[in-house]
Structure 1
């Protein structure tokens, strides 16, 4: 967690895990103090948009014409894809865009790793702020977020899908390592784990990470003109690295302090 502040505005920036194992402790220490002090919560998606995301995914995900997965993936990646699929049921990938198949694979990996969105940071924060009668807002809409993937060029989508399938046999292990690094606050390990795949696909990195971080940093700068205390909670991948939100703010001369 980081803090940006001036005389009358405090913005706590919490890097989150969207899904966590049951029993994970994350809301103690200075995080608890920041939650109590904040007047409002701002997430990537506000609750109403999160509810709408499933229907929007179903509308955007289908291909214009089916394409068999064995026409998309090399043999070794296809075998690992099929093994992941067999762990919980058919993805229906032949009828879906590459990006949508990759999203479903990620959800399956989270299930296999026993990570639950209901135990994730955003779910916990939303329940706490709503119970306290404090507003919960968001930086994006569900359509905007999913269109980041939908509008990736076909070659980029195929590279992302192929890399995800090729590593599917180790995906639970990777997710466990990511969760462990986040739990202990290991920024260097987080950056390595989060960036090692997406760094080799520049178009995806720009759309999914860098451009969004730039927009969010601009939002923070603008919000600093309004008094109050804000809890801003977004995925931990947006908080680390040279193009993370804290680094972008610091590059513009804004003091950012890591507080937990």
Structure 2
């Protein structure tokens, strides 16, 4: 789950608020701990500064259409850096063409100051268990030693389940590398929609995402935490590799590092976080096409939800809709024809 969270859950923004006081021990020695006062997930944060040093990331963008309107499906990376901007012109054009935007979670919930406390409550045990008691002794001892080297202790995390601890650790490393939730593509587009006065909504609620995380099997939560504790030095390289694959629009690499890894190592977590949620979203996305004769919509979700046979792209194609990859800068697309969306169509 360490990689998939960055491409599969907008609740990362909530976790950032809730975990800010805890994530300093997750960072490598000598790195700068994030400041909770500036680690905000509010989508009204100032736009990330554009950088001329890099070409825009290749968009994970598809156009779904029926006889009278279209839905654009865009795969987000929930934590990005300022130099990941500006976005592709394809995304700009899809935004201009859209009459409304739909995200995983309504923007108002992301900016609600109460959601951090919700995350902490969801991460608790609700009984006499603690992190120290649920972890196998060898993992507990190894984790305690790792935290002690960074000036922390397991007592600081004892109240929280492994899924939240693992997410906090990943967030800590991400923060140290310069990734921020407020720079994520979804939050960038939330701000853009607010500025343009375009209606926004969500496919689910923060409560649903938190309940889903909290329902993952304890054994699989421990597997994910074990991976981090066994090789914490690998995490920066893995995050960089995942980020680059997203920038490159490399579907095969992204699928291998997220959906494939999760399915192989934590299959029930994969089912709950990806398949079940996609099942719930499919009727809503179909309704955006079947129930409208004119309005186009831009739907922005974690990129993992678009990948593979369980992904929204393949499932919409199997449902009989016209599906086209939108990537004017892409070359060598074999399975799909890349098209460019016309602004204000």
User: Shift of residue 133 of structure 1?
Assistant: 0.6
**Any conservation in 1 of the 2:144–2:153 contact (CA below 8 Å)?**
no
Report the TM-score, using the length of structure 1 for normalisation.
0.90
Counterpart in the other structure of 2:69: 9
Provide closer, same or farther for how the CA distance between residues 133 and 89 of structure 1 changes in structure 2, counting only shifts above 3 A.
farther
What's the CA shift string for 1:216-240, capped at 9, x where partnerless?
2221112112131111001111111
What is the CA–CA distance in structure 2 between the aligned matches of 1:78 and 1:122, rounded to whole Å?
Answer: 38
Query: For 1:207, which of 261, 272, 276 is the aligned residue?
Result: 272
Select the structure that is richer in helix.
1
Q: How many residues align?
A: 260
The answer to whether residue 278 in structure 2 is matched with residue 216 in structure 1 is: no
SS at match of 2:299: strand
Counterpart in the other structure of 1:168: 232
TM alignment of 1:238-249, pairs within 5 A: 238-249=305-316
**Any conservation in 2 of the 1:84–1:108 contact (CA below 8 Å)?**
no
Counterpart in the other structure of 2:121: 59
Structure 2, unpaired ranges of 5+? 1-60, 328-345
The structure with more radius of gyration: 2
Counterpart in the other structure of 1:152: 216
What is the CA–CA distance in structure 1 between the aligned matches of 2:130 and 2:320, rounded to whole Å?
Answer: 50
Counterpart in the other structure of 1:116: 180
What is the CA–CA distance in structure 1 between the aligned matches of 2:286 and 2:83, rounded to whole Å?
Answer: 35
Counterpart in the other structure of 1:107: 171
SS at match of 1:95: coil
What's the CA shift string for 1:147-175, capped at 9, x where partnerless?
00111232232223323433432111111
**Any conservation in 1 of the 2:131–2:161 contact (CA below 8 Å)?**
no
What is the CA–CA distance in structure 1 between the aligned matches of 2:152 and 2:296, rounded to whole Å?
Answer: 45
What's the CA shift string for 1:194-237, capped at 9, x where partnerless?
13431121111100011111222221112112131111001111
User: Shift of residue 177 of structure 1?
Assistant: 0.6
**Any conservation in 1 of the 2:63–2:325 contact (CA below 8 Å)?**
yes
User: Shift of residue 107 of structure 1?
Assistant: 1.3
What is the CA–CA distance in structure 2 between the aligned matches of 1:255 and 1:88, rounded to whole Å?
Answer: 55
Counterpart in the other structure of 1:178: 242
The answer to whether residue 296 in structure 2 is matched with residue 229 in structure 1 is: yes
**Any conservation in 2 of the 1:81–1:165 contact (CA below 8 Å)?**
no
Report the TM-score, using the length of structure 2 for normalisation.
0.69
**Any conservation in 1 of the 2:80–2:183 contact (CA below 8 Å)?**
yes
SS at match of 1:241: coil
Structure 1, unpaired ranges of 5+? none
